[in-house]
C-alpha cells in the first residue's frame, strides 16, 4: 500500500466519502488511489474556486466535511477565496493539496510555490506530510481538526513522493473532541443581564441559528423582553414557516448602527462582536453602541443550543410557540423589482429548499421578504469574497440530496466562478440558479456615491458590466445547463415552477 | 490631495499609465482618484486572474510595468496564480491591493485576510502603506522595485485610510538601478569552455531570447560548434523568418533528458539550471547530465545581450547571417491534427503577430512547426499555472497595439480565466483565440498512464471535460465575442483570415 492509498482508506474510515477535485500531475497517485479504492464520490470542478466553494456548501448541509483535491501552489491559490468564505462560516473541510516531491522542491521547478504559506491564511490546521508511512495518521489528524468545534479548514499538503512511496499505513479514526459547553458563569451573567429588564439584544451566529437554537432563543426573548437578531453573515439559517424568524444585522453601516441603536446590552451566542464590513471616514467600526455592555453566552466553539437551553431554564422561560409568520405571500405580477421578487419567491419556494444567497444589492430585501415561505435553509457567502454563490449551491445540492437548491445570484459575482454550472450539469444537480442581471457592480456604485462627487467615465466603466452585455442563458447553455430569461414575475413563476419539476439544473436570468 | 491622488500622480510620473483593475469597496478612493486625474488607462477584468495575467502580458510586450488594482485579501488571492506565472517570467508589475483601514483591521471584519501573507509568495517586494503622507513614496519605490532587473512583482498594499486621508505627497521618480553586467570572469570561463571543443549546450532564457540576443548566441555557436536551446518556459521569444531559430527544452522528462544527453558542458544565459517540472519515481530532477559541468555566463538579473556580445568577441566569432528557415509552409488540408495545424498556422500568421501559447499537449509541436512563419513573438505560460493564456493575450494586445495577438488555447485551461474574453470584447482588442477542444485534461491522462495500470471510471471522469461538452463558441458569444467552429484546416484558414481582417476579438473552436 502506498501513501496515497493509506490516505484514501483513512479518509473513508473517518467518514469522509466525498471529494471535490481538480487534480494536476503531482496528484496522480492520489487520483490512482481514488480510482482503485471504491467508496469515494469524486466530483470534478473546472476551477479550484468551484472545488473549495462546493466543499463549503456540502459540509454546511451534510454536517460533515468533504475532502478537496487541489493541485500544488497556484491550484490551492485559486481556491483560497472560497476557503476564506468557508473559514468565516467555520465550515469543516479536509483540504488536500498536492505538492512537489520532498526532494524535488529544492530545485524550484516552475510550478513550485509557497503552498504552506498560501494555506496558512485560511486554515485552522496545516500540515505537510513527510513520509508515506505517516500520511494515514496525518489524514486522521486532519479530519479530527476539521471536525473540532466549531469546525475549521484543515489543510493537508501531500508531497508527491509521500503519495507514491510504499509503506502507507491506514490510521485509526481519532476522536473528535466533545464540544465544550458554556461555563456556568457565562449562563448566569447572561441571565442576570436579561433579568434587569434593560434593552438587551441577543445576537445569534453559528448553530444558534438551527431550528432548535432559534426556538430556545425565542423562549428566552419571550420571557425577558430581549430582542433577537442574527449576525450579518451566517453559514446556515433555519427559516420559513414553523421556524422563529430573525432579522440579520444589515450590511450598510448606517442601517446597522440604527438597528443596534439604543441597546444597553448585547449578548453574543456563537459569534463574535459584530463589526462593520469596511471602515468609512467618520463612521464607527462596530454597530454596537459605545455605551453598551457586551456579554458572551457562548463562544463560537461552545455549544450554543446547550447554552441557550440552560439560559432558558435559568430565566424560567416557559415553552413558547413559534410566532406565526403570517400567510404565505401571493406571487406578484408585472416587472421584477426587489419588492415584487421577494413575495414571488416566498410563494413558490418548495418545502425544504436550500437557498444559496449571493444576490447582494438587488437581494437585500429577499431575506425579510421570504419569512413566510415554506421551511427552508438559507446559506450566505460568509466572508464577503464574491464568487461564493454558485459553488455553494453546487456543494449544497450534493450535501442535501432530494432538496431543491435555489441560488439567488448577482451577475458580477456570478462571473467569478461560473464554471460551477458545468459541475451542476455533469452531476445533474437539482439547482435552480436565478441571476439578477443589473449589468453593474451596483454595490460599488453605492460605495462610490458615499465617497462623494459625481463619478466620471473612468469610475463608471470600472463598475459597468454592460458594453458588452453578458448573456447568462447563453453562458449556461455553453456549459450544458438549460436556461431562459424572464422580464415579468409571471414569466419567472412559470420558469421557476418548470425548474422544480425537472431533474437537474436550470438557470433563469432576470434583467433588472 | 489625499493619499490615493498622490498615488495616481506618482504612478503617472513614473511612467505607469495602464491599470488593470477589479476594485472593491476598500478601493473606492483609489477609483475616485483615477476618475479625477486624467492619464491612466483603466481596464476592467471580471475576475482577478484576468487582471493579473493581463498585467503580465502587457509588460512582456510593452517592456514596462502596468499597475493592477485588486480588492483586499481574497481579491488578491484570486490573482495569485497568474502572478505566479508573471514571477516566473520576471515580469515587472506594480501590484496594488487594497486593504482594510489600518484601524479597522484589528476588528477582523469578514473580508479581513492575510493580504501580506498572500502577497509574499509571488512578490519580490511587498510593502503595506502606513500613512497618506508616504503613499506617494511607496508608489515610487514600488515602480523602482518592479523595474529592477530582471523585473519583478512589487506589491503595494493600500489600507483604505492611507488612500482617503489628506496630506498625500507626489513622489519623485526613483532611478532604476542600471542592469548589472556579467563579471569579466564569467565571460572568460564561458569562452574557455567553448574553446575546448567539447560538446557544449548554451541555454538561453529571459532577454537572451530577444532578436539581438539570439543573433549573438548564434554567432558564438557558429564559431565554437556549441548547440543552442531555449529554456522550456519563457516569457517572450523573438521568432520567425529573419530570427535565429532555437528549440526549447521539452516538457516530458524523457524527452528533456534525451535533448540534453551527451553534453559535457552547459552554459546558462539569463536562466537558472534547467529542471524537470515534476519529480517522477526513479527519474532525474534535472535534464542536465550528472557528469556535465554547469557554467553561468549571465545570471537572470545580468544583461544577457551584453554578456553574449562580449562572449562573441572573446571567442573571436565573426558576424554570422541568420540561417534561412526554409520556405514558409503551405496550409494543410483536411482534418485538424497537431501535424496539420502547425504548418497551417505558420502559413497564415501575420507579420509581427504575438502568439500567446497555452495549447499544452495538443500544441507541443506548434513551436517547432512555425519556425518559418513571418516574424512574431511567442509568449508562454511560464509558471505552469493554467489559466494564463487568455489573460496574457488580453494584456499583450494592450501592450502591443497594432499587432495581432493569436492565443493558442487548450480547452481545460481556457475554463480557468474565460472571463478574459469579455475584456477583449469591451476593449475591442485584436485577439484571435483558437481553442483546441479535445474535451479532456489530456496532459493528465498521459501522466496517469505513467503511474501505470488502466484507469477506471473515477480517474477518467476526473480528466474528462465532456459530459456535458463545452461549447466555446457559445461561451464566447455570451461575453460578446463572435466565434465559429472549424473541422478542417481549410475552414480554419478561412476563419483565421477573416479574423485578421476584422477589428476586435474572434474565437475559433477546433474540436480535435
pLDDT of B227? 98
> Could you write out the DSSP letters of every residue in B224-251?
H--EEEE-SS-S-EEESTTS----B--S
Residue B453: the pLDDT is 65
Q: Is the pLDDT of residue B449 over 90?
A: no
Probe site for chain B from A37, A109, A167 (most B CB atoms < 10 A): A109
A160 closest CB neighbour out of B278, B412, B457: B278
Quick: pLDDT tens for A276-331: 999 999 999 999 999 999 999 999 999 999 999 999 999 999 999 999 999 999 99
Q: Which 117-136 residues of chain A touch chain B by CB within 8 A?
A: 117-118, 120-122
**Contact state of B25 with A443 under an 8 Å Cβ cutoff:** yes
Q: What percent of chain A has pLDDT over 70?
A: 100
Q: What is the DSSP letter of A107?
A: G
- pLDDT of A104 > 70? The answer is yes
The percentage of residues in chain B with a pLDDT greater than 70, rounded to a whole number, is: 100
**H or E stretch including B57?**
helix B48-62
Tell me the C-alpha distance between A163 and A32, whole Å. Answer: 10
DSSP B310-333: HHHHHTTPPP-PPPP--SPPPPP-
- Look at residue B149 in the predicted model and tell me its pLDDT: 98
**Residue A37: DSSP 8-state:** S
> CA torsion, points B45, B48, B50, B55, in degrees to nearest 10?
90
pLDDT tens-digit readout, B196-252: 999 999 999 999 999 999 999 999 999 999 999 999 999 999 999 999 999 999 999
Is residue B478 over pLDDT 90?
yes
| Secondary structure (DSSP) of B361-387 | GGGTTHHHHTTTSSSEEEEE-TT--SS
Indicate the pairing of strand B237-239 with strand B376-380: antiparallel
Residue ranges of A 316-335 with Cβ closer than 8 A to chain B: none
Query: Which grid cell is B322?
Result: 541568420
CA pair distance A479, A507, nearest whole angstrom: 11
E strands, A274-352, in order: 293-298
Interface test with A, best of B35, B117, B283, B437 (most A CBs within 10 A): B35
CB atoms within 10 A of CB B497: 12
Mean pLDDT of A174-188: 98
**Distance, CA of B154 to CA of A64 (rounded, Å):** 41
On chain B, the residues whose CB falls within 8 A of the CB of A42 are: 458, 461-462
Angle at B114 between CA B109 and CA B118, to 5 degrees: 145
CA distance A318 to chain B (A): 36
Element (H, E) at A396: helix A389-399
Cell of B21: 483593475
Of chain B, the percentage scoring pLDDT greater than 90 comes to: 97
pLDDT in tens, B397-412: 999 999 999 999 999 9
Cβ distance B181 to B149 under 8 Å?
Answer: no
| CA angle (B402 as vertex; B400, B405 as ends), nearest 5 | 65
Measured CA to CA, the distance from residue B71 to residue B27 in angstroms comes to 7
Q: Is the Cβ pair B109, A29 closer than 8 Å?
A: no
The average confidence (pLDDT) of chain A is 97
Q: Tell me if A366 sits within 8 A of A343, measured CB to CB.
A: no
**Cα separations in angstroms, B356 against B39, B85, B359, B395, B406:** 28, 13, 9, 10, 6
Which grid cell is B143? 515602480
The distance from CA B243 to its chain's CA centroid, rounded to whole angstroms, is 20
Mean of the per-residue pLDDT values of chain B:
97
Distances (CA, A) of B457 to A19, A24, A37, A355, B461: 15, 17, 12, 32, 6
Any long-range contacts for A489-497 (C-beta under 8 Å, 24+ apart)? A489/A331, A489/A332, A489/A333, A489/A334, A489/A335, A489/A336, A489/A340, A489/A341, A489/A344, A490/A331, A490/A333, A490/A334, A492/A336, A492/A341, A492/A344, A492/A434, A493/A331, A493/A344, A493/A347, A493/A348, A496/A348, A496/A432, A496/A434, A497/A348
Give the per-residue pLDDT at A451.
77
Residues with Cβ within 8 Å of A221's Cβ and at least 6 positions away in sequence, in order, are A202, A227, A228
Average pLDDT over residues A493-497: 98
Q: Does B161 touch chain A (CB under 8 A)?
A: yes
Quick check: A292 contacting B, CB < 8 Å?
A: no
Question: Phi, psi at residue A343, to the nearest 5°?
Answer: -65, -30
The DSSP 8-state label assigned to residue B410 in this structure reads E
Q: By CB neighbour count within 10 A (0-12 exposed, 13-18 middle, 19+ buried), where does B452 fall?
A: exposed
CA of B478: which chain A residue's CA is closest?
A471
Nearest CA-CA distance, residue B204 and chain A, Å: 16
Contacts of B352 (CB under 8 A, 6+ apart): B374, B375, B376, B403, B404
Name every chain B residue with its beta carbon within 8 A of the beta carbon of A86.
none
pLDDT of A1 strictly over 70: yes
pLDDT band (50, 70, 90) for residue A453: low
Which residue do the cell numbers 567553448 mark?
A: B194
Banded model confidence at residue A128, pLDDT cuts 50, 70, 90: very high
User: Does residue A455 belong to the interface with chain B, where contact is any CB pair within 8 Å?
Assistant: yes
What is the gyration radius of the CA atoms in chain B, in angstroms?
23
What is the DSSP code string of B93-117? EEEEEEE--TTTGGG--TT---HHH
Between vectors from CA A379 to CA A373 and to CA A383, what angle results, nearest 5°? 145
Q: How many CA atoms lie within 13 A of B464 on its CB side?
A: 14
Distance in angstroms between the alpha carbons of the first and the last residue of chain B: 57
Q: Report DSSP letters for B480-496, one per residue.
A: T--EEE-SBHHHHHHHH
Q: Which helix (H) or strand (E) holds B118?
A: helix B115-120
Q: How many CA atoms lie within 13 A of B191 on its CB side?
A: 18
CB B20 within 8 A of CB B73: no
pLDDT in the model for residue B454:
80
Range of weakest confidence among A307-316, A324-333, A441-450, B425-434: A441-450
CB B485 within 8 A of CB B473: yes
Burial level of B139, CB count in 10 A (0-12/13-18/19+)? buried
Would you give the end-to-end CA distance of chain A in angstroms?
57
pLDDT at A417 over 70: yes
Q: What cell numbers appear for A428 in the block?
A: 445533474
- With a CB cutoff of 8 Å and minimum separation 6, the contacts of A491 are none
pTM: 0.98
Instruction: Flag whether pLDDT at B452 surpasses 80.
Output: no
Report whether pLDDT(B363) > 90. Answer: yes
Classify B504 in phi/psi space as left (phi over 0), alpha (psi -120 to 50) or beta: left
Helix, strand or coil for residue B196?
A: coil
Is B471 at the interface with chain A, CB within 8 A?
yes
pLDDT tens-digit readout, A21-57: 999 999 999 999 999 999 999 999 999 999 999 999 9
Q: How many CB pairs under 8 A join A and B?
A: 300
Instruction: Quote the cell numbers at residue B59.
Output: 509588460
Grid coordinates in use for B377?
A: 513573438
CA–CA distance, A52 with A423 (Å, rounded to integer): 13
**Calpha distance A17→A22 (Å, rounded):** 16
Report ipTM (2 d.p.).
Answer: 0.98
Q: With H, G, I as helix, E, B as strand and everything else as coil, classify residue B155.
A: strand
User: Residue A156 and residue A98: Cα distance in Å, rounded?
Assistant: 8
Contact: B42, A458; criterion CB under 8 Å: yes
Check whether A342 has a pLDDT greater than 70. yes
In the three-class reduction of DSSP (H, G, I as helix; E, B as strand; rest coil), residue A329 is classed as coil
Sign of the torsion angle spanned by Cα atoms B335, B336, B339, B344:
positive
Asked if B63 reaches chain A (Cβ–Cβ under 8 Å), the answer is: no
pLDDT at A449: 86
Contact status of B479 with chain A (Cβ, < 8 Å): yes
Lowest mean pLDDT across A150-159, A453-462, B297-306, B408-417: A453-462
Interface test with B, best of A36, A82, A458, A469 (most B CBs within 10 A): A458
**Residue B394: pLDDT over 80:** yes
A67 Cβ partners below 8 Å, 6+ apart?
A11, A16, A18, A19, A20, A40, A55, A93, A94, A95, A96
Q: At what angle do helices B3-13 and B132-147 cross, to 10 degrees?
A: 30
Q: Please, what is the Cα angle at A79 between A354 and B481, to 5 degrees?
A: 85
Q: Mean pLDDT across the stretch A77-94?
A: 98
Amino acid at each position: 500500500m502506498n501513501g496515497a492509498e493509506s490516505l484514501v482508506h483513512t479518509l473513508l474510515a473517518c467518514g469522509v466519502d466525498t471529494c471535490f477535485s481538480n487534480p494536476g500531475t503531482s496528484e496522480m497517485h492520489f487520483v490512482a488511489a481514488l480510482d482503485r479504492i471504491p467508496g469515494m464520490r469524486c466530483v470534478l470542478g473546472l476551477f479550484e474556486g468551484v472545488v473549495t466553494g462546493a466543499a463549503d456548501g456540502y459540509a454546511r448541509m451534510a454536517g460533515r466535511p468533504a475532502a478537496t483535491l487541489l493541485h500544488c501552489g497556484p491550484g490551492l491559490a485559486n481556491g483560497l477565496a472560497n476557503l476564506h468564505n468557508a473559514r468565516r462560516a467555520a465550515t469543516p473541510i479536509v483540504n488536500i493539496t498536492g505538492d512537489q516531491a520532498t526532494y524535488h522542491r529544492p530545485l524550484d521547478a516552475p510550478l513550485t510555490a509557497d503552498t504552506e504559506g498560501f494555506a496558512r491564511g485560511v486554515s485552522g490546521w496545516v500540515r505537510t506530510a513527510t513520509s508515506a508511512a505517516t500520511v494515514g495518521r496525518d489524514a486522521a489528524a486532519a479530519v479530527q481538526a476539521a471536525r473540532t468545534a466549531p469546525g475549521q479548514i484543515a489543510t493537508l499538503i501531500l508531497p508527491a513522493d509521500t503519495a507514491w512511496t510504499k509503506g502507507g499505513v491506514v490510521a485509526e479514526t481519532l476522536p473528535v473532541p466533545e464540544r465544550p459547553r458554556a461555563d456556568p458563569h457565562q449562563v448566569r451573567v447572561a441571565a442576570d443581564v436579561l433579568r434587569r429588564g434593560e434593552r438587551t439584544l441577543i445576537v445569534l451566529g453559528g448553530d444558534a441559528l438551527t431550528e432548535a437554537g432559534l426556538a430556545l432563543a425565542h423562549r428566552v426573548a419571550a420571557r425577558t423582553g430581549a430582542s433577537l437578531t442574527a449576525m450579518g453573515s451566517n453559514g446556515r439559517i433555519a427559516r420559513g414557516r414553523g421556524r422563529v424568524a430573525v432579522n440579520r444585522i444589515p450590511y450598510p453601516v448606517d442601517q446597522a448602527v440604527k438597528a443596534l441603536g439604543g441597546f444597553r446590552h448585547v449578548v453574543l451566542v456563537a459569534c463574535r462582536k459584530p463589526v462593520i464590513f469596511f471602515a468609512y471616514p467618520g463612521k464607527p467600526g462596530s454597530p454596537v453602541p459605545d455605551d453598551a455592555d457586551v456579554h458572551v453566552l457562548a463562544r463560537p466553539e461552545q455549544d450554543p443550543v446547550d447554552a441557550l437551553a440552560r439560559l432558558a431554564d435559568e430565566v424560567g422561560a416557559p415553552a413558547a410557540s413559534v410566532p406565526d409568520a403570517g400567510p404565505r405571500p401571493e406571487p406578484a405580477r408585472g416587472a421584477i423589482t426587489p419588492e415584487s421578487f421577494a413575495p414571488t419567491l416566498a410563494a413558490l419556494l418548495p418545502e425544504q429548499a436550500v437557498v444559496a444567497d449571493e444576490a447582494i444589492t438587488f437581494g437585500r430585501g429577499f431575506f425579510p421578504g421570504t419569512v413566510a415561505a415554506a421551511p427552508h435553509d438559507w446559506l450566505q457567502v460568509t466572508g464577503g469574497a464574491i464568487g461564493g454563490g454558485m459553488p455553494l449551491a453546487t456543494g449544497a445540492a450534493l450535501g442535501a440530496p432530494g432538496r431543491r437548491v435555489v441560488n439567488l445570484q448577482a451577475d458580477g459575482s456570478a462571473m467569478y466562478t461560473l464554471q460551477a454550472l458545468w459541475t451542476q450539469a455533469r452531476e445533474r444537480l437539482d439547482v435552480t440558479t436565478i441571476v439578477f442581471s443589473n449589468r453593474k457592480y451596483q454595490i460599488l456604485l453605492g460605495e462610490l456615491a458615499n465617497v462623494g462627487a459625481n463619478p466620471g467615465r473612468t469610475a463608471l466603466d470600472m463598475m459597468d458590466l454592460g458594453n458588452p452585455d453578458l448573456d447568462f442563458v447563453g453562458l449556461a447553455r455553453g456549459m450544458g445547463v438549460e436556461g431562459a430569461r424572464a422580464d415579468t414575475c409571471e414569466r419567472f413563476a412559470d420558469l421557476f415552477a418548470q425548474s422544480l419539476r425537472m431533474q437537474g439544473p436550470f438557470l433563469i436570468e432576470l434583467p433588472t
